[in-house]
Amino acid sequence: MVKVGLSIGGGVGVLDSIDPRELVDIGFRSVFVACSEDEMRWHAERATAFTRTCKSVGLEVYAVPLGYGKVMDPDPSMESLYVREHPQNLQIDSRGRRCGKACPNNPAFLEWFSSNVRTLAWLLESDGFLWDEPSFYYSRGSWACRCQYCQRMFFAEHQRELPVDLDEDVTRFRRTSLIMFILAAAAAIQAVDRGLLSLVMPSSAVSSREAGLGTDAWNALLESSAVDRLSVYVPWQIQGREMAATIRSTHQAVSAAARAHQKSSLLWVGGSPHPRDKLLEVLQVAELAGVEHLVIAGHQTLMGSDAFSNFRKSLRRVIAQVS
Ligand SMILES: [Zn+2]
């Protein structure tokens, strides 16, 4: 039996247009609601109204903060007022340039971030938060962060200056820094409600060395008390891989790693009514493979599609069969 969830991006305008009872009728059991920094500043009450209705109809609700200094940065086009207004707290790359991401080791940023996610946890009725692809800046030939705080912390740990080359110590330092950041994030929401779950989605697009926390950092994440559940995106369409084999092997690897730490896992897949996404088949494969919780990304490509009205009936039938 697989629990099927849906991720919802696109902002509060999209949330206003969704009837959570319709999601329940289709068979969804959870929603992952993107909450962007700039929108939550002015329109948090619209997200609150949506999550409250979701809870009242029995959906599990997870908040996905986006923006907020852009340490969590799955979508580079996401705006962040914090990044625009606090250039002095941004990451510095190996060529000495400020990057469009706040530094997770900067104490002023950490304080602001903790206070903001705490507020979000107060406002939204949710079961937990998903930290979506926390990462340091990286591009071909340069990496971050070499700000004064990172330099000091690296020196304290290694008794040598932070090198300009991304060596093994730097790789480990970047990874540890991101795990400390997730610890601060989890502590902030759990200060509001100890029961709130902390989920992490490691970066799938780049290697761990580049991101600081890639899909090969599963064990480091699961070892941390900051992580209750590990969430892994399976981009089988992009990689041009065979769908069933990819879902099965990813699930086996993720769930074995999670179980070794008495934790659970969930998988994400891109989904739309288009036959190339094989969504109905994906659901059946996931159930047979033993996936506990499968999240479809996302609302816009699936229910926002013109083809959805014809697809709805078969989706509802298959979700009923597998969940
Ligand atoms: Zn830094």
For the chain, the straight-line distance linking the first and the last C-alpha, in angstroms and rounded, comes to 5
Cα angle for residues 24, 204, 112 (degrees, 5° grid): 80
CA distance 231 to 254: 9
Ligand 1 centroid to Cα of residue 36, in Å, is 23
Determine the residue type at 117.
V
Q: For residue 206, what pLDDT is reported?
A: 63
Ligand 1 centroid to Cα of residue 193, in Å, is 30
User: pTM of this prediction?
Assistant: 0.96
Ligand 1 centroid to Cα of residue 137, in Å, is 10
- How many CA atoms lie within 13 Å of 38's alpha carbon, on the beta-carbon side? 13
Which residue, among 174, 172, 176, has the nearest Cα to 223 in the 3D structure? 176
What are the pLDDT digits (tens) for 175-193? 999 999 999 999 999 999 9
Ligand 1 centroid to Cα of residue 212, in Å, is 13
CA distance 71 to 134: 5
Distances (CA, A) of 23 to 4, 30, 283, 292, 302: 11, 9, 16, 19, 12
Determine the residue type at 274.
H
CA distance 68 to 312: 35
Q: Would you tell me how many other CB atoms lie within 10 Å of the CB of residue 155?
A: 12
Ligand 1 centroid to Cα of residue 107, in Å, is 10
As residues whose CB is below 5 A from the ion ligand 1, the structure lists: 103, 105, 145, 147, 150
HEC states along the chain? CCEEEEEECCCHHHHHHCCHHHHHHHCCCEEEEEEEHHHHHHHHHHHHHHHHHHHHCCCEEEEEEECHHHCECCCCCCCCHHHHHCHHHEEEECCCCEEEEECCCCHHHHHHHHHHHHHHHHHCCCCEEEEECECCCEECCEEECCCHHHHHHHHHHHCCCCCCCCCHHHHHHHHHHHHHHHHHHHHHHHHHCCCCEEEEECECCCCHHHHCCEHHHHHHHHHCCCCCEEEEECCHHHHCCCHHHHHHHHHHHHHHHHHHCCCEEEEEEECCCCHHHCHHHHHHHHHHHCCCEEEEECHHHHCCCCCHHHHHHHHHHHHHHHC
Per-residue confidence of the chain (323 residues) as pLDDT tens digits? 999 999 999 999 999 999 999 999 999 999 999 999 999 999 999 999 999 999 999 999 999 999 999 999 888 889 999 999 999 999 999 999 999 999 999 999 999 999 999 999 999 989 999 999 999 999 888 999 999 999 999 999 999 999 999 999 999 999 999 999 999 999 999 999 999 999 999 987 666 667 788 877 899 999 999 999 999 999 898 877 899 999 999 999 999 999 999 999 999 999 999 999 999 999 999 999 999 999 999 999 999 999 999 999 999 999 999 99
Are 18 and 12 in contact, with CB atoms under 8 Å apart? no
81 Cβ neighbours under 8 A, 6+ residues apart: 37, 38, 41, 67
What are the pLDDT digits (tens) for 230-276? 999 998 988 778 999 999 999 999 999 999 999 999 999 999 999 99
CA distance 196 to 184: 14
Instruction: Provide the token pair at 296.
Output: 């479809």
Omega before residue 35 within 30° of 0, cis: no
- Domains of the chain are 3-75+107-136+168-322 (3.20.20.80)
Ligand 1 centroid to Cα of residue 307, in Å, is 46
Ligand 1 centroid to Cα of residue 151, in Å, is 7
Ligand 1 centroid to Cα of residue 44, in Å, is 30
